Amino acid sequence: MISASEILLTLFLLTNLLLAGTGRLPPAIRLVAAQGWFIGLLPLLLWNWSDAGAPGLRIWTVAVVNALVKGLALPALLLYAVRKVHAKREMEPLVSFRVSQLLVFLIVAASFAVGKLLHVNEAIASELAIPVAFATMGTGLFLICSRRKAVTQVLGFLVFENGISVFGAGILLEYGLVVELGILLDVFVLVFVLGIAIYQINRTFASLDTDKMNRLGDIHLLHHHH
């Protein structure tokens, strides 16, 4: 089981690197959704099945709720918002994708160095969990700083939150998972509000857009002259 959780955490790192190099929004959202599913799976994989028997109801609830909210509901909401505002085209990074990828790699390397220095070996379930958590939080913060579009910044925020979840799952706090659910509720509300905000902003501006302006003036008459 140790091996399975490490493979999952490695995939988590990969999604971070991929997120830094992705230019289109729907794939980026799907990557964050994949992270959501990983977070749902993580407490089950870190659970000591052979010694402690089947995990209790609390673990199952948290796993299922995490996967449903972070892997299904929030990404679906963001995909819906992106489709509504026709924002499928490339994101507008302040830092190029190549440099982003390099910087995220440096963030990952730094978090491994820090994770190694911390020496929290008593409580953690997997050696990889703490560094991966730091790396994910760093990636989230980096995405918030380096991207211009509101949708991408929401994604960055979600990635940051995913990092906190990995931290919580990794150190196996007894009530950590319950606290996690509280945080999850906050995040859900925030992303919901942001999704609506993105839609509303776009709707206001869409009515000022070229389509309707053509009908306001006499541009269509100009076209007839040609």
CB nearer to another protein: give 41 or 191.
41
Q: Of 12, 20, 33, 7, nearest to 163 (Cα)?
A: 12
Query: Which residue is listed with tokens 């963001």?
Result: 78
Among 73-81, 107-115, 143-151, 174-182, the segment contacting another protein (CB under 8 A): 107-115
Choice from 37, 97, 188, 199 touching another protein (CB under 8 A): 97
Q: Which of the stretches 9-17, 38-46, 59-67, 213-221 binds another protein when contact is defined by CB under 8 A?
A: 9-17
Tell me: does residue 6 bind another protein (CB under 8 A).
yes
Q: Give the integer Cα–Cα distance in Å for 199 and 181.
A: 27
- Torsion sign (Cα): 50, 56, 62, 64: positive
In the bound state with another protein, the residue whose beta carbon lies nearer, of 26 and 176, is 26
110 binds another protein (CB under 8 A): no
DSSP letters, 65-122, are HHHHIIIIIHHHHHHHHHHHTT--S---BSS-HHHHHHHHHHHHHHHHHHHHHH--TT
Give yes or no for residue 16 binding another protein (CB under 8 A). no
**Sole residue written with tokens 């830092």:** 95
Is 62 a binding residue for another protein by CB under 8 A? The answer is: no
Question: Is residue 10 a contact point for another protein (CB under 8 A)?
Answer: yes
Contact call for residue 116 and another protein (CB under 8 A) = yes
**159: nearest Cα among 177, 172, 140, 141:** 140
- Which residues in this chain contact another protein in the complex, by CB under 8 A? 2-3, 6-7, 9-10, 13-14, 17, 21, 97-98, 101-102, 105, 108-109, 112-113, 116, 127-128
